[in-house]
Amino acid sequence: MQTTKTLIVVRHAKSSWKYPALSDLERPLNKRGKRDAPFMGELMYQKDIKVDVMISSPAQRTLSTALAFAEAMQHPTEKIVLAPEIYEVMADTILEIIQSRFNDSWQQVMLFGHNYACTDFANWYAKPAIDNVPTCGIVAIDYSIEKWSMADKNNGSIRFFEYPKLYTKKKLY
């Protein structure tokens, strides 16, 4: 009997380049990122999205995004797992992590990462292709599988694709 498992891929919110002396890992969220992360987390809460675990790159901007989502979704912050191996990876590596490290008891997992891996990974399942998963963009992928090790490039389908600019008014210049 097959069940549905869902991976929700979140690209970190907009980061700041204000302090050039900071390493890439240390860059914080900027004003827009601090606005968008809680907003998108609240959107997930309103969609009644509940996850078993949140997995985040250790980069400051990514962890800050995960913490904002956790607060908005009423998800315990102690269920955020830091995964250094998803910092600066390719989409293939994300799939390897899913197949080898995800606990089969998890039905829904939210993974906070970086581009280009987020966009490349989503495009395995997107029809038509997604040009770019923007900052704080969210792609939910459903798999009809019993075990995460069964996930592959061909057996997932996108449930939804959300991003902040879908909800913000466009400014006219």
- CATH class of domain segment(s) 4-128: alpha beta
Cβ neighbours of 67 (radius 10 Å): 19
Does position 1 have pLDDT exceeding 70, yes or no? no
pTM: 0.94
For the stretch 8-63, pLDDT in tens is 999 999 999 998 899 999 999 999 999 999 999 999 999 999 999 999 999 999 99
- Delimit the domains of the chain by residue range: 4-128
Give the separation between CA 28 and CA 19, rounded to whole angstroms: 9
Quote the tokens at residue 42: 């609240």
Q: Specify the DSSP element, H or E, that contains 4.
A: strand 4-11
Cβ neighbours of 110 (radius 10 Å): 28
Give the separation between CA 117 and CA 92, rounded to whole angstroms: 8
